[in-house]
Amino acid sequence: MKIAIILGTRPEIIKMSPIIRECEKQGIEYYILHTGQHYSYDMDKIFFEQLKLPEAKYNLDVGSGLHGKQTAKMLTGIEEILIKERPDVVLVQGDTNTVLAGALAASKLQIKIGHVEAGLRSFDRTMPEETNRIVADHTSDYLFAPTETSRKYLLNEGVSYDKIFVTGNTVVDAAYQNLEISKNGTDILEKLGLQEKEYFAATAHRAENVDSKERLGGILNGLSQIYKEFGLPIIFPAHPRTVKMIEEFGFKLPEGTRLIDPLGYLEFLQLESGARLILTDSGGVQEEACILKVPCITLRDNTERPETVDVGANLIAGCGEKILECTRIMMKSDCEWENPYGNGNAAELTLQNTVTGYSIEYSKTVSPEQMQY
Ligand code: UD1
Ligand code: UDP
């Protein structure tokens, strides 16, 4: 069995890293195909270094651009490589343009596709990610759903029960594997002059937020309000897209908010786990906050991670007045929720299912006959 692992952005590198490690451990033949969607050192190479991942065998260097053009470049490049390599399975992860291109190219060549983190739905078709994940799910042969909720969404869309494997999310594997390691590295709290639980962490990068003057302004205003009320500094490692848009809109940073360069994964895990509360529009950060038992405020109008809200770890605030209101509520949280994303063995289960095609799950609680979706 030969597996092609296709990735291209920061979260895909992080969430695929446990699968890459597991391939190494089990001696499974694989290679990495990097689309180059992310390319800046601190959005790309730093994660290969920190997570000790082998270099990509191929890098398409597609870079940034309009969705159509970027996806088209990826499709052309991936197709060529897949024709040459003919892997048995292509694995893609998440909901980026890289996933869309990887799944489409493999599907046309009738190469089997495994979608890691399948079945997430925001039910918001204005998000490019929603289109990407729906197309990937419906072209895939193996759908690795993190939770029963994702399985339910897939079944509702007519995906065959046999194709779905509830594995948990590899974000848990990555956090568990690296949290201790991160504590032995750079002490980011010391470096930034922070005390544990005496600061907030924030991130924002979603196109619908940071490309909108009103919504990005609303987020900065929300941060200003919570600083006035709680007096805790807000550390904001900023995605390059966000930095660009803050400059373009001419926004001044509110008092208390410290914009810093994106952090490496090991430092960011420390920053997250030491935070009193996290404000974010990121998918992965919502999950990590939940896993690390840090209250989360989501700076969006919806989430494809409803499990985090259901367990009481996350509140959906949007980009306006509700940011302060939700922060007040979550500051009172006892942080006693359960992690809904699995045991940290999602990568192992994903590969077992990929190699055997036999359904091995972490939480197969119901049979197809019992399903009432
Ligand atoms: C992409 C994904 C998004 C994911 C995010 C993870 C799509 C449609 N979007 O969004 O789902 O949450 O990655 O971070 O696939 N830039 C750099 N250096 C880089 C990468 C980007 O400076 O290495 C800047 C460029 O100005 C670029 C902008 O960021 O135009 C946006 O990059 P792009 O990859 O198009 O989208 P993301 O916002 O990163
Ligand atoms: N992350 C990081 N450094 C940062 C910000 C985020 O390493 O400065 C990690 C974070 O731990 C998570 C992932 O990047 O695993 C989330 O990526 P992002 O928010 O860019 O994308 P999304 O998850 O929304 O697709």
Write the pLDDT tens digit of every residue in 20-50.
Answer: 999 999 999 999 999 999 999 999 999 999 9
Looking at the DSSP bridge assignments, the partners of residue 259 are 236
Residues 96 and 8: beta-carbon distance below 8 Å: yes
Mutate which of 122, 176, 268 for ligand 2 pocket (most atoms within 8 A of beta carbon): 268
- List where CATH 3.40.50.2000 sits in the chain: 2-169+342-372, 188-330
pTM of the model: 0.96
CB of 9 closer than 6 angstroms to any ligand 1 atom: yes
Closest ligand by atom to 284 CA:
2
**For residue 256, which of 303, 200, 308 has the smallest C-alpha distance?**
200
Average pLDDT, the chain: 95
Closest ligand by atom to 269 CA:
2
CB of 96 closer than 6 angstroms to any ligand 1 atom: yes
List the helix and strand counts (H, then E) for the chain.
Answer: 16, 13
CB of 40 closer than 6 angstroms to any ligand 1 atom: yes
Pocket lining for ligand 2, CB < 6 angstroms: 10-11, 14, 203, 205, 237, 239, 262-263, 265, 268, 282-285, 288
Residues 74 and 60: beta-carbon distance below 8 Å: yes
Q: Which residue lies with its CA nearest to atom 4 of ligand 1?
A: 96
> 38 an active-site residue?
no
pLDDT bin (cut points 50, 70, 90) of residue 142 is very high
Q: Regarding predicted confidence, which is higher, 265 or 373?
A: 265
As a whole number of angstroms, the distance between CA 328 and CA 93 comes to 35
Which superfamily does 2-169+342-372 belong to?
Glycogen Phosphorylase B; (3.40.50.2000)
Ligand 1 atom closest to the CA of 241, numbered from 1:
29
Residues in the chain: 373
Indicate whether 365 pLDDT > 60. Answer: no
Q: Residues near 169 by Cβ (< 8 Å), separated by ≥ 6? A: 15, 117, 146, 147, 287, 341, 342, 346
Q: Where are the alpha helices (DSSP H) in 165-264?
A: 170-183, 188-192, 207-210, 213-230, 240-249
State what percent of residues in the chain have pLDDT above 70. Answer: 95
- pLDDT of 184 reads 85
As a whole number of angstroms, the distance between CA 320 and CA 297 comes to 12
| C-alpha 8 – ligand 1 centre gap (Å) | 10
- pLDDT of 246 reads 98
CA distance readout (Å), 292 to 101, 154, 296, 340? 32, 28, 10, 12
| C-alpha 99 – ligand 1 centre gap (Å) | 13
CA atoms within 13 A on the CB side of 24: 10
Is domain 188-330 in CATH 3.40.366.10, yes or no? no
Closest ligand by atom to 209 CA:
1
Average pLDDT over residues 157-171: 96
As a whole number of angstroms, the distance between CA 344 and CA 340 comes to 11
Q: Which residue lies with its CA nearest to atom 24 of ligand 2?
A: 282
Of 34, 38, 115, 205, which is the active-site residue?
205
**For residue 227, which of 204, 198, 248, 247 has the smallest C-alpha distance?**
198
Q: Which residue lies with its CA nearest to atom 32 of ligand 1?
A: 64
| Degrees, nearest 5: CA angle 265-267-270 | 110
Q: Quick one: which H or E segment has residue 99?
A: helix 97-108
